[in-house]
Structure 1
Amino acid sequence: MGDEHDANRKGWPLESCQLHVPPLDELAHVLRQGLALHFAFVQVDVVDCPDLSQSPFHLTAPGLGGDPSLVDLGGVPYLVPTVHRDRIYDLADLPAAMNVKDGTVSMIGAGAGPWQHLETNCEMMTNLSLSLEAGKSSSLVVDNGTRLATVDPSGRRILHVVPPKQTRCSLLNNLLVSRGLPRTPVLRIRCQKRTGPDNFVTCMRNTVRQRYGHQPVGMGGVFMLENGQARLHIMPDFSPCPLQTDADVNNWLHFYNATGPLINLSVFISHDPGLDLRVEHTHCFSTHGEGGHYHEDVSPETVVYEGYFTPAERLFRIDRPSQTHGVGRD
């Protein structure tokens, strides 16, 4: 979505690269064949994107079209083993960092929420549209459908609606950023009755990786878990003790099963071109008060997925951690 910059306006380092963008018809064929190995029913078609601002998706933008890009902001090393509370980002700064000066910018994805807003760590389901007017920073119009999920020490879970002007996140965020244009060609993917061990997103990512190898193909979109249940987690408040292993992280997280319909905001990339990326990340919310980080469905016999995805043209890597590890990336 623009020319490469050395850093965004807050000074976080920024790297970017072009992604491989296969033709949609080709991607549909690849996914149709690959997903059939994991689901009893698979349908993948190229369609004009429906209005995703309407039920059941409830996005702030009607579509996924217009310069689609992936943004990988921060990273898990800012969360574990110990939290870096200085990693606070304002998503309203992203358009300038991506050299976008006017028009609408839509963001959907999965991240860590603004802990200072709720005074606790939280999951973030990013669902945000910004309208910009060139040369007028004060004219920013925000349409904010973002949700935050928290869990308190007693295990009480809350799904929060953020105030319109609350555009911050912290630590990490994985986003599909586009102009939110309606009626552009996208992939409609519908799967029923999971027969393999992997979750819906991992099945898509592995299918694309097996076909395109070291050519990085990035995709983002929204999907419904229409029927069945999914295993989610919500991060509690920051751990007072360092989390050194995946077992430490899993013992700290609050896991639970949520019931569909669940609205999932998802991004994935088939191959990391050396930028220390989170290769897939999906968060979900609902109209009945449940949400969090999606792991997999727990009702393979009855599960129904339907979603709309677009390939991304470019990847922006912002504030890549200088010291990294592989812990806590499931």
Structure 2
Amino acid sequence: MACAEFSFHVPSLSELAEVMQKGLKDNFAEVQVSVVDCPDLTKEPFTFPVKGICGKTRIAEVGGVPYLMPLVNKKKVYDLNKIAKEIKLPGAFMLGAGAGPFQTLGFNSEFMPIVQTESEHNPPVNGSYFSYINPADGGYLLEKYNKKYHDFGCALMANLFASEGQPGKVIEVKAKRRTGQLNFVTSMRQTLGNHYGNKPVGMGGTFIVQKGKVKAHIMPTEFSSCPLNSDEEINKWLNFYEMKAPLVCLPVFVSKDPGFDLRLEHTHFFSHHGEGGHYHYDTTPDTVEYLGYFSPAEFLYRIDQPKETHGFGRD
């Protein structure tokens, strides 16, 4: 598997907090960005297998949308324990968004990776979720992966934020009442892009939609047999839903692509009330409340970059 490495621009947390405070005010009525100790992420509502998102931070983008569409490439299957070694961090804690391991499940799904990978001293822990369309009624189901499955697979594409899973200082973002057109993640990403320009900054972490509802999608369980060649065709294929807070989201975003055909942002979410999928934006701007914890990434690893690419299917 080909793997390219790139060093991100890594501003200080205090500088990032200042930049984000200023930029997010264009999109939200109330914004408070500060540097805090990472909360204990093993506790509710996160229930991650590690306490934090600090230590040797990096972003891995694996595969990509061109392996799903126009038509699926079923050879593109991955193992998160192997990816941890590729990014030179065996034992990494990873979270993010990707396509579920159809090689195990037998069908296509949205995947919410939350994995403590294997290291010399510790066995791996899979806290991931997946959501999929219920063939019985066209509704959706959210399941915890390790209730039935014991592998560490994913497929086709994944955007992962990896760290040693340590406690430490992080950026806390509180935003209420959306006044602009951008979703929460795009608002942060564009703020960084506007400020840092040609110096790419990568970030990841977790945020909670505390109040309100969001628009989400879940891919069909069957891959498309007709080629999907535009966003319009993809949107007809996808299933869209409105889902309600509280939702635990797993964002990965990069301010500028330094030439690796990146998906600049990708956010999946799960909940403890059976709702989960791919986050688009909130549908209740007047009441929405976000609370997030983020860490800048030191490195980017681009793994198995598609040789043939296109620009659609990146929303």
Alignment TM-score > 0.5, same fold: yes
1:93 aligns with 2:78: no
> Is the Cα–Cα contact under 8 Å of residues 131 and 142 in structure 1 kept in the other structure?
yes
Secondary structure in structure 1 of the residue aligned to 2:117: strand
What letter is aligned with 1:118?
L
What letter is aligned with 2:193?
R
Return the alpha-carbon distance in structure 2 between the equivalents of residues 140 and 63 of structure 1: 17
Q: Percent identity?
A: 47
How far residue 192 of structure 1 moved from its aligned partner, in angstroms, is: 0.3
- Please report the TM-score for the alignment, with normalisation by the length of structure 2: 0.97
Return the alpha-carbon distance in structure 2 between the equivalents of residues 283 and 201 of structure 1: 11
Name the residue aligned to 1:160.
143
> For this pair of structures, how many residues does the alignment match?
311
What letter is aligned with 1:327?
F
Name the residue aligned to 2:54.
65
- Please report the TM-score for the alignment, with normalisation by the length of structure 1: 0.92
Contiguous gaps of at least 5 residues in structure 1: 1-11, 134-138
How far residue 59 of structure 1 moved from its aligned partner, in angstroms, is: 1.6
1:272 aligns with 2:257: yes
Secondary structure in structure 2 of the residue aligned to 1:132: coil
Deviations 1:174-206 (A, max 9, x none): 010000001x11000000000001100000000
Deviations 1:120-153 (A, max 9, x none): 10000010112411xxxxx651211100110145
Return the alpha-carbon distance in structure 2 between the equivalents of residues 238 and 131 of structure 1: 31
Name the residue aligned to 2:196.
212
Deviations 1:213-242 (A, max 9, x none): 010000001000000100000000211111
Match 1:257 to one of 242, 252, 269: 242
Return the alpha-carbon distance in structure 1 between the equivalents of residues 226 and 241 of structure 2: 23
How far residue 94 of structure 1 moved from its aligned partner, in angstroms, is: 1.6
Secondary structure in structure 2 of the residue aligned to 1:94: helix
Equivalent residue runs for 1:26-65 within 5 Å = 26-65=15-54
> Is the Cα–Cα contact under 8 Å of residues 142 and 165 in structure 1 kept in the other structure?
no
Match 2:169 to one of 163, 169, 185: 185
Match 2:126 to one of 120, 129, 144: 144
1:23 aligns with 2:12: yes
Secondary structure in structure 2 of the residue aligned to 1:215: coil
Secondary structure in structure 1 of the residue aligned to 2:119: strand
CA RMSD of aligned residues (A): 1.1
How far residue 48 of structure 1 moved from its aligned partner, in angstroms, is: 1.0
Stretches (4+) displaced over 4 A: none
Secondary structure in structure 2 of the residue aligned to 1:301: coil
> Is the Cα–Cα contact under 8 Å of residues 77 and 103 in structure 2 kept in the other structure?
no
Return the alpha-carbon distance in structure 2 between the equivalents of residues 18 and 292 of structure 1: 30
